[in-house]
Amino acid sequence: MAELKLCVYLENQEIIVPVDQDEFTIGRLPENNLHLPYFGISRCHARIYKQGKGKWFIQDMGSKNGTSLNDKILTDSTLLAHNDWIKLGNIDARVILNDSTLPRVRKFDQPELDEGMTIVRNVNDLKAQWIEADNLVDKVKRQETSIARLKDLVDIAQNLNSAESIEEIFLAVKKVVFRYIENMERLALLIVDCDTGNPKLFNEAVKEENYSQPLPNEGVWISRSICQTVFSEKIAIQTSNAQLDERFGNEISIITKDIHSVMAVPLWDESKVVGVLYADGHIPISESIQQKDENLSFFSTLANLVASSVQRWLLTRQLRNEEKIRHRLERYHSPAVVQQMMQAGNLSDTRLIPKESEISIMFADIVGFTALSEKLTPAKISELLNAFFEEMLQEVFAEGGTLDKFIGDCIMAFFGAPEPQADHAERVFRAAKGMLSRLARMNVNKVLSHPLELRIAINSGKAVVGDVGSTLRVDYTVLGPTINLASRMESICPPGKLIVSDATYKMLQPSQRLELEEMGEYRFKGIEQPIPIYVNIKDLKATIYQENY
């Protein structure tokens, strides 16, 4: 068992790490014994080593943010004791020695740091500074500015529930930031993009007295790497002069836009980060560490308030999108299929992503409808078709089929997508028979204003299935040679019958094949080889008449 262990605190978790070597390195590079791939950690940040019997020392390896032991910055190798507190950048760790009888070392006040140093803070610590009641009382007693800030925070918090949009909240935040945090001249709100999972610019603003020109398009002025680090690692960053910090040396926006001061904090709603609040300016900050810490914690508290509003807005938008998707899907699919698709979550921004699938396609056309429509008024035609479609779709949906579209008096439906169905050919065959039987019963019982007759053509094969169209209009449809063949087959189908291609026939159950006979081989436009076609033997219309009389 290791003599020394570290209890490392990462993202609200305590991780016990055994120091199992006499020379133990800690840093951002994977080759370190303790790999900490975080923003505030240097490549080789610190080392722990053993000398003599049971004596462990810690040494900073020239890290950018320094290593602290019990809140004192290390300048030389220092002996470790049980319950010592180590701080590496923004990561905390506690020393656990086997000799647990040693007294716990008291934590000392944090010393002042150089004014040019970048501050990296855990947002939990910052939140505690401004949200805990006792701490707020202390701040109010110390500074009149804190009283004014607190009043503005209360006003913003009270308006969150009544605000109709995030834009309203952003305007309130803009006024407070530019009023209380000097040198901050530009402000941006980034909200998580549901598709990419990364923060995306939602709104931006400038301090009018400093900027007469509008901001560049698409937030090109923002330091994306800082925002991504804040977002992913749940830390708050403030740098008083990014130009002097080598970690930001490769940031084109910082160099070309003459950015010096930067503040960025995550929008953290409980355990979920929903965005980033970012501000910067071209004048370096000249403040004490205490002032900068208070500004950063105030900025972080603003972000926490905004986060609650953003989270509600995201949830509301998600519910509206889901309702919109469900409404669209219910036009094409049975309720069971819609529910399955919603749970599977294979949708992208209310669209079903096109993909290749094995399907069976059906074209069901009313025989002689053109001649019939010439005898009826438009109102009567609409009434007749609506009643007909309503009944026929019940058979399609009963077998888990999908309505592609109505083409005049023709129903185009398919099986096998969007959810895969290994028995799609059997399903379409049963649905087609059900449609013919149902229509025959409707004619016998005079459900429709005029008797109708169907011809149905079925084919099976590969097709592209999904939402296809423009930004103005999108249709959920199937595309490919499989569909083209089925459409051409419909023209050779006898009235009152259903026909299937050779591809569909081979996929049917033996009992279903017995209901079919070969109709012959037919040639179709665009297809070199003749296609064997099969037609149903049983006269479903005659069967219905026999059942009723």
Structural domains of the chain, with CATH: 4-97 (2.60.200.20), 119-317 (3.30.450.40), 343-548 (3.30.70.1230)
Least confident of 162-171, 234-243, 272-281: 162-171
- Average pLDDT for residues 351-355, to the nearest whole number? 74
Digit-coded pLDDT (tens) for 4-26 = 999 888 766 778 889 989 999 99
- Average pLDDT for residues 56-77, to the nearest whole number? 91
pLDDT of residue 113: 36
Digit-coded pLDDT (tens) for 146-180 = 556 666 666 666 666 666 677 877 887 888 888 87
pLDDT of residue 147: 58
Digit-coded pLDDT (tens) for 435-456 = 999 999 999 989 898 999 999 9
Least confident of 327-341, 403-417, 498-512: 327-341
- Average pLDDT for residues 235-247, to the nearest whole number? 73
Q: Is the peptide bond before 532 cis (omega within 30 degrees of 0)?
A: no
CB-based contact 430:423 (threshold 8 Å): no
- Average pLDDT for residues 226-248, to the nearest whole number? 77
Phi, psi of 52 (to 5 degrees): 70, -155
Instruction: Tell me the pLDDT band of 134, cut-offs 50, 70 and 90.
Output: very low
Least confident of 41-45, 425-429, 474-478: 474-478
The encoded tokens of residue 473 equal 């209009």
Share of the chain above pLDDT 70, in %: 71
Residue 108 has pLDDT above 60, yes or no: no
Q: CA–CA distance from 395 to each of 362, 458, 521 (Å)?
A: 12, 15, 29
> Which residues make Cβ contacts (< 8 Å) with residue 421, sequence separation at least 6?
400, 415, 427
Separation CA 339–CA 432 (nearest Å): 24
Residue 252 has pLDDT above 80, yes or no: no
Separation CA 501–CA 277 (nearest Å): 61
Top pLDDT among 335 and 383 is at 383
pLDDT of residue 138: 47
- Average pLDDT for residues 232-248, to the nearest whole number? 74
Q: What is the mean pLDDT of the chain?
A: 79
Report the Cα 168 to chain-centroid distance in Å.
24
Amino acid at site 143:
Q
Residue 109 has pLDDT above 60, yes or no: no
Instruction: Tell me the pLDDT band of 541, cut-offs 50, 70 and 90.
Output: low
pLDDT of residue 116: 45
Task: Report which listed range, 38-52, 54-68, 262-276, 493-507, is most confident.
Answer: 493-507
Q: CA–CA distance from 85 to each of 11, 80, 121, 127, 326 (Å)?
A: 17, 9, 16, 21, 54
The encoded tokens of residue 445 equal 């019982």
- Average pLDDT for residues 308-320, to the nearest whole number? 73
DSSP states of 374-385 as a string?
Answer: TTS-HHHHHHHH
Query: Which three-class secondary structure state does DSSP give residue 116?
Result: coil
> Which residues make Cβ contacts (< 8 Å) with residue 470, sequence separation at least 6?
none
Q: Tell me which residue of 430, 458, 454, 431 sits closest to 442, measured CA to CA.
A: 454
pLDDT of residue 126: 54
pLDDT of residue 458: 97
The encoded tokens of residue 250 equal 């490769």
pTM of this prediction? 0.46
Separation CA 220–CA 541 (nearest Å): 69
Separation CA 364–CA 545 (nearest Å): 22
Residue 488 has pLDDT above 80, yes or no: yes
Residue 34 has pLDDT above 70, yes or no: yes
Separation CA 225–CA 382 (nearest Å): 59
Top pLDDT among 420 and 476 is at 420
Share of the chain above pLDDT 90, in %: 34
Residue 190 has pLDDT above 90, yes or no: no
Instruction: Tell me the pLDDT band of 130, cut-offs 50, 70 and 90.
Output: very low
Exposed e or buried b per residue across 341-360, where buried means at least 16 C-beta atoms within 10 angstroms of its C-beta? beeeeebeebebeeeebbbb
pLDDT of residue 163: 61
Q: Using the Cα atoms of residue 49, residue 51, residue 54 and residue 59 in order, give the sign of their dihedral.
A: negative
CB-based contact 178:187 (threshold 8 Å): yes
pLDDT of residue 135: 47
CB-based contact 241:260 (threshold 8 Å): yes
Least confident of 17-31, 222-236, 445-459: 222-236
Top pLDDT among 423 and 373 is at 423
User: At which residue do the structure tokens 């219910």 appear?
Assistant: 330
Separation CA 27–CA 62 (nearest Å): 11
pLDDT of residue 9: 84
Instruction: Tell me the pLDDT band of 537, cut-offs 50, 70 and 90.
Output: confident
Q: CA–CA distance from 232 to each of 122, 136, 275, 460 (Å)?
A: 12, 28, 10, 47
- Average pLDDT for residues 48-61, to the nearest whole number? 90
Report the Cα 283 to chain-centroid distance in Å.
37
Element (H, E) at 549: none
Least confident of 135-144, 191-200, 371-380, 533-542: 135-144
Separation CA 224–CA 118 (nearest Å): 17
- Average pLDDT for residues 293-305, to the nearest whole number? 77
Instruction: Tell me the pLDDT band of 311, cut-offs 50, 70 and 90.
Output: confident
Top pLDDT among 358 and 107 is at 358
Query: Which three-class secondary structure state does DSSP give residue 529?
Result: coil
Dihedral class, residue 37 (left if φ above 0, else alpha if ψ from -120 to 50, else beta): beta
